[in-house]
Structure 1
Amino acid sequence: RLASLYRRVALAESHAENNFKEELKSGEFTLNLRNRALHKNGKMIELTQVEFQIMEYFFSNPGVALDRIDILNHVWGDAYVGEDKIVDVNIRRLRMKVEDEPSNPKHIITVWGLGYKWDSGE
Protein backbone atom coordinates (compact mmCIF):
# COMPACT_ATOMS: atom_id res chain seq x y z
CA ARG A 1 0.00 0.00 0.00
CA LEU A 2 2.77 2.41 0.91
CA ALA A 3 4.76 1.42 -2.19
CA SER A 4 1.70 2.19 -4.31
CA LEU A 5 1.45 5.64 -2.74
CA TYR A 6 5.14 6.32 -3.45
CA ARG A 7 4.67 5.29 -7.09
CA ARG A 8 1.70 7.64 -7.49
CA VAL A 9 3.60 10.54 -5.93
CA ALA A 10 6.63 9.90 -8.16
CA LEU A 11 4.39 9.73 -11.23
CA ALA A 12 2.63 12.97 -10.29
CA GLU A 13 5.98 14.71 -9.75
CA SER A 14 7.31 13.59 -13.13
CA HIS A 15 4.15 14.87 -14.85
CA ALA A 16 4.43 18.20 -13.02
CA GLU A 17 8.07 18.61 -14.11
CA ASN A 18 7.20 17.82 -17.72
CA ASN A 19 4.30 20.31 -17.71
CA PHE A 20 6.32 23.12 -16.10
CA LYS A 21 7.53 25.59 -18.68
CA GLU A 22 10.75 27.25 -17.68
CA GLU A 23 10.26 30.11 -20.13
CA LEU A 24 7.33 31.91 -21.68
CA LYS A 25 8.06 33.68 -24.97
CA SER A 26 6.09 36.54 -26.44
CA GLY A 27 7.50 38.37 -29.42
CA GLU A 28 10.84 39.93 -28.47
CA PHE A 29 10.29 39.07 -24.79
CA THR A 30 11.24 35.99 -22.79
CA LEU A 31 10.00 35.50 -19.24
CA ASN A 32 12.11 32.99 -17.33
CA LEU A 33 9.89 31.48 -14.62
CA ARG A 34 12.69 29.66 -12.83
CA ASN A 35 15.02 32.68 -12.57
CA ARG A 36 12.10 35.13 -12.38
CA ALA A 37 13.68 37.32 -15.06
CA LEU A 38 12.38 39.19 -18.09
CA HIS A 39 14.51 39.64 -21.21
CA LYS A 40 13.81 41.87 -24.19
CA ASN A 41 15.88 40.92 -27.24
CA GLY A 42 18.28 39.13 -24.88
CA LYS A 43 18.72 42.12 -22.55
CA MET A 44 17.58 41.62 -18.96
CA ILE A 45 14.93 43.96 -17.54
CA GLU A 46 14.89 44.27 -13.74
CA LEU A 47 11.43 43.65 -12.30
CA THR A 48 9.98 43.77 -8.81
CA GLN A 49 8.12 40.71 -7.56
CA VAL A 50 4.76 42.38 -8.29
CA GLU A 51 5.84 43.43 -11.79
CA PHE A 52 7.02 39.89 -12.49
CA GLN A 53 3.66 38.45 -11.40
CA ILE A 54 1.80 40.90 -13.64
CA MET A 55 4.01 39.98 -16.61
CA GLU A 56 3.52 36.28 -15.92
CA TYR A 57 -0.26 36.84 -15.92
CA PHE A 58 -0.04 38.77 -19.21
CA PHE A 59 2.16 36.12 -20.85
CA SER A 60 -0.26 33.40 -19.73
CA ASN A 61 -3.17 35.34 -21.28
CA PRO A 62 -1.80 36.96 -24.46
CA GLY A 63 -4.24 39.24 -26.25
CA VAL A 64 -6.88 38.77 -23.54
CA ALA A 65 -8.37 41.89 -21.97
CA LEU A 66 -7.77 41.50 -18.24
CA ASP A 67 -9.97 43.37 -15.79
CA ARG A 68 -8.13 45.43 -13.16
CA ILE A 69 -9.87 43.37 -10.46
CA ASP A 70 -8.67 40.12 -12.08
CA ILE A 71 -5.10 41.42 -12.12
CA LEU A 72 -5.47 42.65 -8.54
CA ASN A 73 -6.78 39.27 -7.34
CA HIS A 74 -4.14 37.32 -9.25
CA VAL A 75 -1.21 39.35 -7.95
CA TRP A 76 -2.29 40.61 -4.53
CA GLY A 77 -4.89 37.94 -3.69
CA ASP A 78 -8.57 38.04 -2.84
CA ALA A 79 -7.88 39.36 0.65
CA TYR A 80 -6.37 42.65 -0.62
CA VAL A 81 -8.37 45.58 0.78
CA GLY A 82 -6.60 48.58 -0.79
CA GLU A 83 -7.39 50.62 -3.87
CA ASP A 84 -7.44 48.99 -7.31
CA LYS A 85 -5.38 51.96 -8.56
CA ILE A 86 -2.34 49.99 -7.35
CA VAL A 87 -2.73 48.04 -10.61
CA ASP A 88 -2.50 51.25 -12.67
CA VAL A 89 0.58 52.39 -10.74
CA ASN A 90 2.38 49.11 -11.42
CA ILE A 91 1.32 49.08 -15.08
CA ARG A 92 2.80 52.57 -15.46
CA ARG A 93 6.07 51.34 -13.93
CA LEU A 94 6.09 48.28 -16.19
CA ARG A 95 5.54 50.42 -19.27
CA MET A 96 8.58 52.49 -18.32
CA LYS A 97 10.62 49.29 -18.33
CA VAL A 98 9.28 47.31 -21.31
CA GLU A 99 8.01 49.88 -23.80
CA ASP A 100 10.22 51.76 -26.25
CA GLU A 101 7.82 54.71 -25.90
CA PRO A 102 5.95 54.39 -22.58
CA SER A 103 3.57 57.23 -23.54
CA ASN A 104 2.61 55.31 -26.70
CA PRO A 105 2.60 51.68 -25.52
CA LYS A 106 2.69 48.85 -28.07
CA HIS A 107 2.69 45.91 -25.65
CA ILE A 108 0.77 46.80 -22.49
CA ILE A 109 -2.43 48.13 -24.00
CA THR A 110 -5.16 49.93 -22.05
CA VAL A 111 -8.62 48.48 -22.61
CA TRP A 112 -10.76 51.47 -21.72
CA GLY A 113 -13.35 50.82 -19.03
CA LEU A 114 -11.89 47.39 -18.25
CA GLY A 115 -8.15 47.05 -17.69
CA TYR A 116 -5.20 45.96 -19.80
CA LYS A 117 -4.05 43.40 -22.33
CA TRP A 118 -0.67 42.17 -23.54
CA ASP A 119 0.24 42.43 -27.21
CA SER A 120 3.44 40.65 -28.23
CA GLY A 121 3.78 42.87 -31.28
CA GLU A 122 3.75 39.92 -33.66
Structure 2
Amino acid sequence: MQRILLIEDDHSISEMVNHYLTKEGFQVVLAFDGEEGIRLFQQDNYDVILLDVMLPKLNGMDFLKIIREQSKVPILMISAKDGDVEKALGLGFGADDYIAKPFSMIELTARIKAAIRRATQYSVSEPANKKILRVHELTVDIENVSVQKNGEPLQLTSTEWKMLDLFVTNPKKVFTKEQIYRSVWNDDYFGDQNIINVHMRRLREKIEDDPSSPQYIKTLWGIGYKLGEF
Protein backbone atom coordinates (compact mmCIF):
# COMPACT_ATOMS: atom_id res chain seq x y z
CA MET A 1 0.00 0.00 0.00
CA GLN A 2 1.42 3.38 -1.02
CA ARG A 3 1.86 5.82 1.84
CA ILE A 4 1.08 9.53 1.73
CA LEU A 5 2.13 12.13 4.30
CA LEU A 6 -0.45 14.93 4.29
CA ILE A 7 0.64 18.10 6.08
CA GLU A 8 -2.33 20.44 6.30
CA ASP A 9 -3.48 22.53 9.28
CA ASP A 10 -7.11 22.72 8.13
CA HIS A 11 -8.67 19.70 9.82
CA SER A 12 -11.73 19.64 7.54
CA ILE A 13 -9.54 19.50 4.42
CA SER A 14 -7.31 16.86 5.99
CA GLU A 15 -10.24 14.63 6.85
CA MET A 16 -11.80 15.04 3.40
CA VAL A 17 -8.54 14.18 1.62
CA ASN A 18 -7.80 11.34 4.03
CA HIS A 19 -11.24 9.80 3.53
CA TYR A 20 -11.08 9.99 -0.28
CA LEU A 21 -7.49 8.76 -0.68
CA THR A 22 -8.08 5.91 1.76
CA LYS A 23 -10.97 4.75 -0.42
CA GLU A 24 -8.58 4.95 -3.40
CA GLY A 25 -6.26 2.48 -1.70
CA PHE A 26 -3.65 4.78 -0.17
CA GLN A 27 -2.50 4.85 3.43
CA VAL A 28 -2.58 8.46 4.65
CA VAL A 29 -0.68 9.83 7.65
CA LEU A 30 -1.78 13.27 8.88
CA ALA A 31 0.28 16.13 10.28
CA PHE A 32 -1.19 19.50 11.22
CA ASP A 33 1.96 21.65 11.40
CA GLY A 34 5.40 21.68 9.83
CA GLU A 35 7.30 20.44 12.86
CA GLU A 36 5.00 17.45 13.24
CA GLY A 37 5.47 16.80 9.52
CA ILE A 38 9.26 16.70 9.90
CA ARG A 39 9.00 14.32 12.85
CA LEU A 40 6.66 11.93 11.02
CA PHE A 41 8.79 12.04 7.86
CA GLN A 42 11.91 11.09 9.80
CA GLN A 43 10.12 8.18 11.47
CA ASP A 44 8.92 6.39 8.34
CA ASN A 45 9.05 6.15 4.54
CA TYR A 46 6.48 7.77 2.25
CA ASP A 47 5.75 7.56 -1.46
CA VAL A 48 4.58 11.16 -1.73
CA ILE A 49 4.08 14.23 0.49
CA LEU A 50 1.12 16.62 0.18
CA LEU A 51 2.32 19.89 1.67
CA ASP A 52 0.29 23.01 2.44
CA VAL A 53 2.19 26.28 2.02
CA MET A 54 0.76 28.10 5.04
CA LEU A 55 1.48 26.01 8.16
CA PRO A 56 1.99 26.82 11.84
CA LYS A 57 5.35 26.33 13.62
CA LEU A 58 7.24 25.60 10.37
CA ASN A 59 5.84 26.84 7.07
CA GLY A 60 5.68 24.80 3.91
CA MET A 61 8.64 26.43 2.17
CA ASP A 62 10.95 25.90 5.14
CA PHE A 63 9.72 22.31 5.43
CA LEU A 64 10.43 21.80 1.73
CA LYS A 65 14.00 23.09 2.02
CA ILE A 66 14.71 20.76 4.94
CA ILE A 67 13.29 17.69 3.20
CA ARG A 68 15.11 18.42 -0.06
CA GLU A 69 18.41 18.24 1.82
CA GLN A 70 17.54 14.67 2.82
CA SER A 71 15.29 13.15 0.18
CA LYS A 72 13.91 13.32 -3.35
CA VAL A 73 10.48 12.05 -2.30
CA PRO A 74 7.77 13.56 -4.56
CA ILE A 75 6.23 16.66 -2.96
CA LEU A 76 2.99 18.29 -4.12
CA MET A 77 2.46 21.82 -2.83
CA ILE A 78 -1.05 22.91 -1.86
CA SER A 79 -2.04 26.56 -1.51
CA ALA A 80 -5.04 28.86 -1.66
CA LYS A 81 -2.85 31.39 -3.48
CA ASP A 82 -2.93 30.62 -7.18
CA GLY A 83 -0.63 33.36 -8.46
CA ASP A 84 2.42 32.80 -10.61
CA VAL A 85 4.73 34.03 -7.84
CA GLU A 86 3.40 31.42 -5.43
CA LYS A 87 3.77 28.67 -8.02
CA ALA A 88 7.28 29.74 -8.96
CA LEU A 89 8.33 29.90 -5.33
CA GLY A 90 7.00 26.45 -4.54
CA LEU A 91 8.43 24.78 -7.62
CA GLY A 92 11.69 26.70 -7.35
CA PHE A 93 12.41 25.20 -3.95
CA GLY A 94 12.17 21.69 -5.37
CA ALA A 95 8.49 20.76 -5.29
CA ASP A 96 7.43 18.33 -8.00
CA ASP A 97 3.98 19.74 -8.61
CA TYR A 98 1.47 22.33 -7.42
CA ILE A 99 -2.27 22.27 -6.90
CA ALA A 100 -4.40 25.25 -5.92
CA LYS A 101 -7.29 25.30 -3.45
CA PRO A 102 -10.07 24.58 -4.01
CA PHE A 103 -9.15 21.41 -5.88
CA SER A 104 -11.11 18.39 -7.04
CA MET A 105 -10.27 15.08 -5.44
CA ILE A 106 -10.14 13.48 -8.88
CA GLU A 107 -7.42 15.92 -10.01
CA LEU A 108 -5.50 15.54 -6.74
CA THR A 109 -5.55 11.76 -7.03
CA ALA A 110 -4.39 11.90 -10.66
CA ARG A 111 -1.46 14.15 -9.73
CA ILE A 112 -0.48 11.91 -6.83
CA LYS A 113 -0.43 8.85 -9.08
CA ALA A 114 1.56 10.70 -11.75
CA ALA A 115 4.13 11.83 -9.15
CA ILE A 116 4.54 8.28 -7.87
CA ARG A 117 4.93 6.96 -11.44
CA ARG A 118 7.67 9.49 -12.14
CA ALA A 119 9.51 8.64 -8.92
CA THR A 120 9.25 4.91 -9.66
CA GLN A 121 10.78 5.42 -13.09
CA TYR A 122 13.88 6.89 -11.48
CA SER A 123 14.28 4.10 -8.96
CA VAL A 124 15.42 1.85 -11.81
CA SER A 125 18.51 2.66 -13.87
CA GLU A 126 18.17 3.27 -17.58
CA PRO A 127 19.61 0.59 -19.88
CA ALA A 128 23.38 0.71 -20.11
CA ASN A 129 23.30 1.16 -23.89
CA LYS A 130 22.14 4.75 -23.35
CA LYS A 131 25.67 5.43 -21.98
CA ILE A 132 27.18 8.87 -21.41
CA LEU A 133 26.17 11.78 -23.62
CA ARG A 134 28.16 14.97 -24.03
CA VAL A 135 26.65 18.28 -25.10
CA HIS A 136 29.27 21.03 -25.23
CA GLU A 137 30.31 21.50 -21.57
CA LEU A 138 27.66 19.10 -20.20
CA THR A 139 28.33 15.43 -19.49
CA VAL A 140 25.06 13.55 -19.03
CA ASP A 141 25.30 10.07 -17.52
CA ILE A 142 21.97 8.46 -18.40
CA GLU A 143 22.63 5.19 -16.59
CA ASN A 144 23.56 6.83 -13.29
CA VAL A 145 21.12 9.75 -13.61
CA SER A 146 23.74 12.47 -13.15
CA VAL A 147 25.02 15.51 -15.01
CA GLN A 148 28.20 17.54 -14.81
CA LYS A 149 29.22 20.85 -16.31
CA ASN A 150 32.94 21.28 -16.85
CA GLY A 151 33.47 18.41 -14.43
CA GLU A 152 31.36 19.95 -11.66
CA PRO A 153 28.23 17.99 -10.64
CA LEU A 154 24.87 19.74 -11.01
CA GLN A 155 22.07 19.01 -8.55
CA LEU A 156 18.88 18.56 -10.55
CA THR A 157 15.47 17.62 -9.25
CA SER A 158 13.90 14.50 -10.75
CA THR A 159 11.66 16.67 -12.94
CA GLU A 160 14.57 18.81 -14.16
CA TRP A 161 16.56 15.67 -14.90
CA LYS A 162 13.77 14.12 -16.95
CA MET A 163 13.37 17.33 -18.96
CA LEU A 164 17.10 17.38 -19.72
CA ASP A 165 17.07 13.65 -20.52
CA LEU A 166 14.24 14.22 -22.98
CA PHE A 167 16.27 16.75 -24.97
CA VAL A 168 19.73 15.15 -24.89
CA THR A 169 18.36 11.77 -25.99
CA ASN A 170 16.36 13.41 -28.82
CA PRO A 171 18.83 16.06 -30.02
CA LYS A 172 17.15 16.82 -33.35
CA LYS A 173 13.56 16.85 -32.17
CA VAL A 174 11.41 19.89 -31.41
CA PHE A 175 9.05 19.40 -28.47
CA THR A 176 5.84 21.32 -27.89
CA LYS A 177 4.82 22.08 -24.31
CA GLU A 178 2.14 19.41 -24.57
CA GLN A 179 4.71 16.82 -25.66
CA ILE A 180 7.05 17.85 -22.83
CA TYR A 181 4.27 17.57 -20.26
CA ARG A 182 3.13 14.17 -21.48
CA SER A 183 6.72 12.85 -21.53
CA VAL A 184 7.92 14.32 -18.24
CA TRP A 185 4.76 14.24 -16.13
CA ASN A 186 3.41 11.11 -17.85
CA ASP A 187 -0.08 12.56 -17.68
CA ASP A 188 -2.67 14.35 -19.80
CA TYR A 189 -1.91 18.01 -20.55
CA PHE A 190 -4.56 20.51 -19.48
CA GLY A 191 -2.81 23.63 -20.78
CA ASP A 192 -1.11 24.69 -17.54
CA GLN A 193 1.98 26.19 -19.14
CA ASN A 194 3.17 27.73 -15.87
CA ILE A 195 4.40 24.41 -14.47
CA ILE A 196 6.54 23.80 -17.56
CA ASN A 197 7.78 27.41 -17.62
CA VAL A 198 8.90 27.30 -13.99
CA HIS A 199 10.74 23.99 -14.30
CA MET A 200 12.35 25.10 -17.58
CA ARG A 201 13.55 28.31 -15.95
CA ARG A 202 15.01 26.42 -12.99
CA LEU A 203 16.75 23.92 -15.29
CA ARG A 204 18.23 26.73 -17.36
CA GLU A 205 19.50 28.48 -14.24
CA LYS A 206 21.53 25.35 -13.50
CA ILE A 207 22.85 24.39 -16.94
CA GLU A 208 23.13 27.67 -18.87
CA ASP A 209 25.92 30.24 -18.67
CA ASP A 210 23.28 32.93 -19.21
CA PRO A 211 19.74 31.67 -18.49
CA SER A 212 18.26 34.74 -20.18
CA SER A 213 20.02 33.74 -23.41
CA PRO A 214 19.88 29.92 -23.31
CA GLN A 215 22.10 27.86 -25.57
CA TYR A 216 21.53 24.29 -24.36
CA ILE A 217 17.73 24.31 -24.60
CA LYS A 218 16.56 26.76 -27.26
CA THR A 219 13.10 28.29 -27.41
CA LEU A 220 11.35 28.19 -30.77
CA TRP A 221 8.72 30.88 -30.28
CA GLY A 222 5.20 29.70 -30.92
CA ILE A 223 6.36 26.11 -31.37
CA GLY A 224 8.28 24.74 -28.40
CA TYR A 225 11.86 23.84 -27.44
CA LYS A 226 14.80 21.89 -28.83
CA LEU A 227 18.36 21.04 -27.85
CA GLY A 228 20.87 23.65 -28.96
CA GLU A 229 23.63 22.88 -31.46
CA PHE A 230 27.28 23.64 -30.71
TM-score between the two structures when normalised by the length of structure 2: 0.42
1:114 aligns with 2:114: no
1:73 to 153, 178, 182: 182
Distance 1:71 1:80 in 2: 9
Residue aligning to 1:102: 211
| Other structure's SS at 1:66 match | coil
Show structure 1 runs of 4+ deviating over 6 A.
none
Residue aligning to 1:56: 165
Q: How many residues align?
A: 105
Distance 2:214 2:147 in 1: 18
Distance 1:33 1:115 in 2: 23
| Other structure's SS at 2:130 match | coil
Amino acid at match of 2:131: E
Question: What whole-Å deviation, never above 9, does each CA across 1:37-70 have from its counterpart, x for those lacking one?
Answer: 1111211111000000000000011142211111
1:38 aligns with 2:147: yes
Residue aligning to 2:124: none
| Other structure's SS at 1:117 match | strand
The alpha carbon displacement at 1:34 in A equals 2.2
Residue aligning to 1:25: 134
| Other structure's SS at 2:205 match | helix
| Other structure's SS at 1:87 match | helix
Compare relative contact order (CA 8 Å, sep 6+) and give the higher one, 1 or 2.
1
Amino acid at match of 2:214: P
Amino acid at match of 1:42: G
Distance 1:63 1:42 in 2: 25
Give unmatched runs, 5+ long, in structure 1.
1-16
Distance 1:115 1:94 in 2: 16
